[in-house]
A and B are shown apart, each in its own frame.
Chain A
Amino acid sequence: MPSTAQILDWLTIAKPYIIMGLVVAVWPLVSGYIVLMERKVMADMQVRLGPMRVGPHGLLQPIADALKLLIKEDIIPARVDKWVFWFAPVIPVLTALTAFAVLPFSQRYFVAELNVGVIFILAMTSIGVLGIMLGGWASNSSYPLLGALRSTAQLVSYEVAMGFAVVAAVMVAGSLDMVNIVKHQQASGVWFIFYQPIGFFIYLVAAMAETNRAPFDMPEAESELVAGFMTEYSGFRWALYFLAEYSNIFVVCSIATTLFFGGWLRPFPNVAWLNFLDWAPAVMLVGVGAGCLYLAGKQLSAANKIGMGVLGAAIIAVGLAFGVPMVIDYVSGPFWFLFKVAVMIYMFMWARFTFPRYRYDQLMQLGWKWMIPLGMANLLVTGVLILVKMQYWSAK
């Protein structure tokens, strides 16, 4: 019979692998729900309802979509490079998922704490470009080739601007370790966005371009290139590209949260009289659950009523569990991290449905002639300001 201490020991050793299993098992489903969220946000901004048929308020739509993609025919055109065509969609999924390994969901929950975490993520997202390039090249068709070329040029251009923005944030933090960066923000009591507003702006624009999101979605501009590098893909291979795209969005939003928004910290982590904010997760979840119960009453069919009711009850139960003082310590970190990432993802969607698409030459000009000089200037100004602060602030 193992003692409690032994079990705790095993849990500490197994923790990275448990989180790893959770990420790989749950993330595809979550990305499906991010797609649903995007469709709902789009519908809301265009004064429509969005998906409503599958399950109450379309809540089972992602599962239906995944099943449909799984049983869909996988057309491989006659002239493609078979092996490259088969393998290309695996690369972006592989790299995007591996980038999750260094994301600090909280002080306790991460797969690995690397002292070069930021560089590791940047490297992984850069390798993901290969999948897009190989896919477009192997298709041996005009639209995918053009899409892949555009995509690669765009990604590498904004990679530089993103690098400058991240370097400036690293200068403030003095560390490349994702966990330490958040701890520095806790120590200084200020989110780094207040030290690096311009850096954050550059990062945001570059991140939107890096993930091929509108208004920078030239690589898959429907009106010009059909679907860009994915044109010849169908069935589950196409779904893998889609999964990789949403994983990348999650990863860049997580980096933004970690570098600029204090990661897993609640707002004002050091202000004692705001400690009641620890209860915010419980209150928010109970509120959402109550909303579900209210909507359950308005459902027409009995099945939808029961489904929505059970969902609402489950969310309220989780919310109440989050209110237990012993549990708060363990769940508030991941809650705030995921909440901030969700807000960032919402901003990405907001931008997509607000701004018209750029023209390709404008996109490259913006990247090379505005973002890169701005990034370099930001770097120098940050350096001077840090030195000035060190000289005169700490001397007093």
Chain B
Amino acid sequence: MAHEYIPIFIFLAVAGAFPIVTLIAAKLVRPESPFKEKLLPYECGIDPVSDARGRYTVRFYIVAILFVLFDVETVFLFPWAVRFRQLGMFGLAEMVVFLALLIVGYIWVWKKGALEWI
């Protein structure tokens, strides 16, 4: 089974070599004349006041946590989907139970307002 992955690892190496080679090629031909103003972060013309990495809204964390939960659920669904025809009625019942638990959690999250973006 593993031999199917050999071309993929070689592909990974080739695909990784492509951007690196082109970046080196670009380095050889491009001009370079930096000065202080050119190297300032882009801030619509004014000088940046402070470091950009301040606090940002907690919504992004909530989305990240929800994503981990739901994405793990979909990963569990894949093997079930492949064997669905063989599992038949039993498989469907199992998955309804599984999805019901997920949906209860989903409704709770919705009621809590975690899906609102204000």
What is the interface of chain A, defined by CB distance below 8 A to chain B? 16-17, 20-21, 24, 28, 69-79, 89-90, 93-94, 97-98, 100-102, 111-115, 118-120, 137, 139-146, 149, 152-153, 156-157, 159-160, 163-164, 167-168, 170-171, 174-176, 226, 231-232, 235-237, 240, 360-361, 364-365, 368-369, 372-373, 376, 379-380, 383-384, 386-387, 390
Interface size for chain B: under 10, 10 to 19, 20 to 34, or 35 or more residues? 35 or more
- Give the docked Cα–Cα distance between A146 and B52 (Å): 10
Query: What are 7 A-B pairs with beta-carbon distances under 8 A?
Result: A73-B33, A76-B34, A167-B77, A236-B26, A369-B115, A383-B84, A386-B85
- Give the docked Cα–Cα distance between A159 and B67 (Å): 8
Decide: B39 and A112 in contact? CB cutoff 8 A. Answer: no
Decide: B18 and A73 in contact? CB cutoff 8 A. Answer: no
In the complex where A70-B30, A97-B18 touch, is A142 in contact with B52 (Cβ < 8 A)?
Answer: yes
- Looking at the assembled complex, report how far the CB atom of A342 sits from the nearest CB atom of chain B, in whole angstroms: 23
Residues of B within 8 A of A368 (CB): 66, 115
- Looking at the assembled complex, report how far the CB atom of A182 sits from the nearest CB atom of chain B, in whole angstroms: 16
- Given A114-B8, A383-B84, output 19 extra A-B contacts at Cβ < 8 Å: A24-B14, A24-B15, A70-B29, A72-B30, A73-B33, A74-B27, A112-B8, A113-B4, A118-B78, A140-B52, A140-B53, A142-B43, A153-B64, A164-B74, A164-B77, A365-B115, A372-B70, A376-B103, A380-B96
- Looking at the assembled complex, report how far the CB atom of A17 sits from the nearest CB atom of chain B, in whole angstroms: 7
Decide: B78 and A20 in contact? CB cutoff 8 A. Answer: no
| Closest B residue to A111 using CB positions | B7
Decide: B30 and A74 in contact? CB cutoff 8 A. Answer: yes
- Give the docked Cα–Cα distance between A164 and B25 (Å): 42
Decide: A361 and B117 in contact? CB cutoff 8 A. Answer: yes
In the complex where A78-B40, A365-B115 touch, is A174 in contact with B84 (Cβ < 8 A)?
Answer: yes
Decide: B71 and A160 in contact? CB cutoff 8 A. Answer: yes
Decide: B15 and A93 in contact? CB cutoff 8 A. Answer: yes
How does the 8 Å CB contact mask read for B85-105 relative to A, with 1 for contact and 0 for none? 100110110011001001100
- Looking at the assembled complex, report how far the CB atom of B91 sits from the nearest CB atom of chain A, in whole angstroms: 8
Residues of A within 8 A of B64 (CB): 152-153, 156
In the complex where A176-B78, A369-B115, A380-B99 touch, is A17 in contact with B41 (Cβ < 8 A)?
Answer: no
- Looking at the assembled complex, report how far the CB atom of A228 sits from the nearest CB atom of chain B, in whole angstroms: 12
| Closest A residue to B117 using CB positions | A361
Q: Which 8 A-B pairs have the closest CB atoms?
A: A163-B74, A141-B41, A97-B15, A361-B117, A156-B67, A236-B26, A78-B39, A16-B7
Residues of A within 8 A of B95 (CB): 380, 383
Residues of B within 8 A of A145 (CB): 52-53, 56
- Give the docked Cα–Cα distance between A168 and B34 (Å): 53
Residues of A within 8 A of B53 (CB): 137, 140, 145
Contact of A379 among B18, B39, B60, B99 (CB under 8 A): B99
Contact of B12 among A94, A114, A226, A387 (CB under 8 A): A94
> SS class of chain A's interface: helix, strand, loop or mixed?
helix
- Give the docked Cα–Cα distance between A114 and B8 (Å): 10
- Looking at the assembled complex, report how far the CB atom of A237 sits from the nearest CB atom of chain B, in whole angstroms: 7
- Give the docked Cα–Cα distance between A74 and B33 (Å): 10
- Give the docked Cα–Cα distance between A367 and B82 (Å): 25
Question: Which of B25, B42, B43 has the largest count of A CB atoms less than 10 A from its CB?
Answer: B42
Residues of A within 8 A of B7 (CB): 16-17, 20, 101, 111-112
Contact of B34 among A75, A157, A361 (CB under 8 A): A75
Residues of B within 8 A of A373 (CB): 106
Residues of B within 8 A of A21 (CB): 14
How does the 8 Å CB contact mask read for B34-77 relative to A, with 1 for contact and 0 for none? 10101111111000100111001001100110110011001101
- Give the docked Cα–Cα distance between A167 and B33 (Å): 52
- Looking at the assembled complex, report how far the CB atom of A207 sits from the nearest CB atom of chain B, in whole angstroms: 15
In the complex where A20-B14, A98-B8, A226-B42 touch, is A236 in contact with B22 (Cβ < 8 A)?
Answer: yes
| Closest B residue to A376 using CB positions | B99
Residues of A within 8 A of B29 (CB): 70-71
- Give the docked Cα–Cα distance between A155 and B52 (Å): 23
- Looking at the assembled complex, report how far the CB atom of B19 sits from the nearest CB atom of chain A, in whole angstroms: 5
- Looking at the assembled complex, report how far the CB atom of A75 sits from the nearest CB atom of chain B, in whole angstroms: 6
